Structure 1
Amino acid sequence: MSLNLAQIDRVETITKEDFIKNYFKPQKPLVIERFIEEWPAYSKWNLEYMKEVAGDKIVPLYDDRPVDFKDGFNEPHAKMKMADYVDLLKQKPTKFRIFLWNILKEVPVLQKDFTYPDFGLRLMKGLPMLFFGGKDSYTFMHYDIDLANIFHFHFEGKKEVILFDQQQNKYLYKIPHSLITREDINFSNPDFKKWPALKKAKGYIANLEHGNVLYMPEGYWHYMKYVTPGFSMSLRAIARKPKNLSKAIYNVFVMRSIDNIMRRLKGQKWIDWKNEQAILRTQKTIFETKK
């Protein structure tokens, strides 16, 4: 048995009007296959090019270790020169990923290789972020703190993406006061005996290749697995739905503060309690739906 996942719609290209009507307004994900072929980045951006232009930069690295109470919000697990990291990616599988690396700030010359596309949404131009990963590395299932509309441009290699909307929260073993699900769930091959509620979740799946653009609507959960070494860039537009915008403000100014305070006060007991609550609350929801 596998997750209940529909293939994400795919188009070669799309007009702004069709995108707004068919995907943004109904908040439906989309893969656009040939939207950026006129960008210099389309032909230039690969791992070797990144090594060439950013080799001396020290980059933050993350792996798949469980959250520890001593870890700060988005605090990296290691750091390395970009040149050494690219060499590592090419030599062997590694769990180390680059997460939320601001290329505009770190390597301004890369800004010349792309333009901000007009999808009918106002993109935040100060926040183009790069994400790198080695073969079989992955991100935990999570959604972004600001519940933004995200355009994810993939370069080099292949990546598997699994998405869920916020309506599926009750089936995903969501960690309270957090943006992630239980970290011990393998969304590529879930154990339904251990995580039975996942059988009720309805989501989406797609495989991304070089030049593909993935649109993720506001607040969508996403799990990304690097089938081969590669990297992507995300551009984002602020959440437009009032409910999502208010939730984003709560996450940034309230939820994150509560979590940080409780980590300092309770330490690992707070993390363990949250992990236990993820199971108990999901089981309670499933029990109530059976009544």
Structure 2
Amino acid sequence: MELKPADIVSSITKEEFINNYYKTQKPLLIKGFARQWEAGEKWNFDYIKEKAGEQIVPLYDSKPADANKSTSEPVVKMKFKEYINHIQSTPSDLRIFFYIITDRLPELLHNFTYPDLGMKFFKRLPTLFFGGSEAKVLMHYDVDLGDFIHVHFEGNKRILLFDQKQSPFLYKVPLSVHTIYEVDYENPDYEKFPALKYAQGYEIFMEHGDALYIPGAFWHFNRYLDAGFSLSLRALPTKPLQFVNMLYHVFVMRYTDKLMRKLLKKKWVDFKQYWAYKRTHKKLKAHLLKQTA
């Protein structure tokens, strides 16, 4: 894979952001972004344990979902404070996925300020994501195709980003928003997955308080290098074609896949993986022929 860093700034005006990143759909890392929040010092594990420690939270690991179970079924559940203590003291791949602040911890809404960058945020869904030092999130893009600001806290995180033009090289699974499960984006096997060599993307390292702008429909792979958590602030698609594409993803593609998974279980999952492998190599062959023509 050919990876390059995203642009990095310590501050940016709304006009600069809109013209240079939002309109061009280009990632941007804003260092120390959360330090400007009046309550920025509250974004840590101790505050979460104090305010929500007794809540029972569902936990997920880094393995692909069992084909015979619902994709939303957690590996285990435990008290929030016990989970945080666990990932702080022990290497772990356990994650909390899509913790909706407005439903579970609404007082946190007073501890940050939506960035004035020209994005129309969907304020119903500010969400938190937690992970231990061995946690990773498989390569995927979000089904709602929305742009979002991703703010990280407590430790370091590595993120890989690819735009949709790179899909032919990433082994995209049909009727899904993820790639083949077997692909290891930390140690790519170019013999088994040769198309990966031609993928061009971004590699970003985040520290406490950093904010990353991720354009809509960008592929992203997340790896927690230390125990930490992140806040995502989403903006839904506004252009007509993007909105229609979002509706297709959410209401047609996703439910078709769920139905087939329910009916065929592992056979459907295995078929899609095989289909992705064959289709990618067919596109790779066409790409190489075009280069040599």
Q: How many angstroms does 1:105 deviate by?
A: 1.0
Partner deviation per Cα, 1:35-69 (whole Å, 9 max, x = no partner):
33131442121112111111011112111222323
Q: Could you say which residue in structure 1 is the equivalent of 2:178?
A: 180
Partner deviation per Cα, 1:199-219 (whole Å, 9 max, x = no partner):
011000110001100000010
Change (3 A) 1:261 1:113: same
Question: What amino acid is aligned across from residue 282 of structure 1 in structure 2?
Answer: T
How do residues 98-117 of structure 1 correspond to structure 2 at under 5 angstroms?
98-117=96-115
CA distance in 2 between partners of 1:286 and 1:147 (Å): 25
Question: What is the aligned length?
Answer: 289
Whether the aligned pair in 2 keeps the contact of 1:131 and 1:231 (CA below 8 Å) is yes
From 194, 215, 224, the equivalent of 1:226 is 224
Partner deviation per Cα, 1:147-193 (whole Å, 9 max, x = no partner):
10010011110000100000001000011111101122111121111
How do residues 21-40 of structure 1 correspond to structure 2 at under 5 angstroms?
21-40=19-38
* Runs of 4+ residues deviating >6 angstroms: none
Question: What amino acid is aligned across from residue 187 of structure 1 in structure 2?
Answer: Y
How do residues 11-50 of structure 1 correspond to structure 2 at under 5 angstroms?
11-50=9-48
Question: What amino acid is aligned across from residue 201 of structure 2 in structure 1?
Answer: G
Are 2:157 and 1:170 equivalent residues in the alignment? no
Are 2:145 and 1:147 equivalent residues in the alignment? yes
CA distance in 2 between partners of 1:41 and 1:191 (Å): 44
Partner deviation per Cα, 1:214-248 (whole Å, 9 max, x = no partner):
00001000001011110000001012344432221
Q: Could you say which residue in structure 2 is the equivalent of 1:201?
A: 199
CA distance in 1 between partners of 2:220 and 2:240 (Å): 22
Change (3 A) 1:81 1:11: same
Between 66-75 and 205-214, the greater mean CA deviation after superposition: 66-75
Change (3 A) 1:102 1:44: same
User: Match of 1:36, SS?
Assistant: helix
Whether the aligned pair in 2 keeps the contact of 1:218 and 1:244 (CA below 8 Å) is no
Whether the aligned pair in 1 keeps the contact of 2:65 and 2:71 (CA below 8 Å) is no
CA distance in 2 between partners of 1:205 and 1:243 (Å): 29
Q: How many angstroms does 1:70 deviate by?
A: 2.9
CA distance in 2 between partners of 1:189 and 1:275 (Å): 19
Q: Flag structure 2 segments of 5+ consecutive residues without an equivalent.
A: none
Q: Could you say which residue in structure 2 is the equivalent of 1:285?
A: 283
Whether the aligned pair in 1 keeps the contact of 2:21 and 2:27 (CA below 8 Å) is yes
Between 17-26 and 78-87, the greater mean CA deviation after superposition: 78-87
Question: What amino acid is aligned across from residue 249 of structure 1 in structure 2?
Answer: L
Q: Could you say which residue in structure 2 is the equivalent of 1:276?
A: 274
Identity of aligned pairs, percent?
46
Q: How many angstroms does 1:117 deviate by?
A: 1.8
Whether the aligned pair in 1 keeps the contact of 2:32 and 2:208 (CA below 8 Å) is no
Between 228-237 and 242-251, the greater mean CA deviation after superposition: 242-251
CA distance in 2 between partners of 1:136 and 1:158 (Å): 12
CA distance in 2 between partners of 1:170 and 1:75 (Å): 30
User: Match of 2:231, SS?
Assistant: strand
Q: Could you say which residue in structure 2 is the equivalent of 1:156?
A: 154
From 93, 96, 101, the equivalent of 2:94 is 96
Aligned-CA RMSD value: 1.2
Q: Could you say which residue in structure 1 is the equivalent of 2:243?
A: 245
Q: Could you say which residue in structure 2 is the equivalent of 1:69?
A: 67
CA distance in 1 between partners of 2:154 and 2:66 (Å): 32
How do residues 126-145 of structure 1 correspond to structure 2 at under 5 angstroms?
126-145=124-143
Question: What amino acid is aligned across from residue 113 of structure 2 in structure 1?
Answer: T
Question: What amino acid is aligned across from residue 190 of structure 2 in structure 1?
Answer: F
Change (3 A) 1:86 1:40: farther
User: Match of 1:136, SS?
Assistant: coil
Change (3 A) 1:243 1:171: farther
Change (3 A) 1:257 1:35: same
CA distance in 1 between partners of 2:49 and 2:39 (Å): 14
| TM-score normalised by L of structure 2 | 0.95
CA distance in 2 between partners of 1:271 and 1:22 (Å): 40
User: Match of 1:141, SS?
Assistant: strand
Partner deviation per Cα, 1:224-276 (whole Å, 9 max, x = no partner):
10111100000010123444322211011101111111112212100010011
Whether the aligned pair in 2 keeps the contact of 1:136 and 1:227 (CA below 8 Å) is yes
Q: How many angstroms does 1:73 deviate by?
A: 4.2
CA distance in 1 between partners of 2:243 and 2:201 (Å): 22
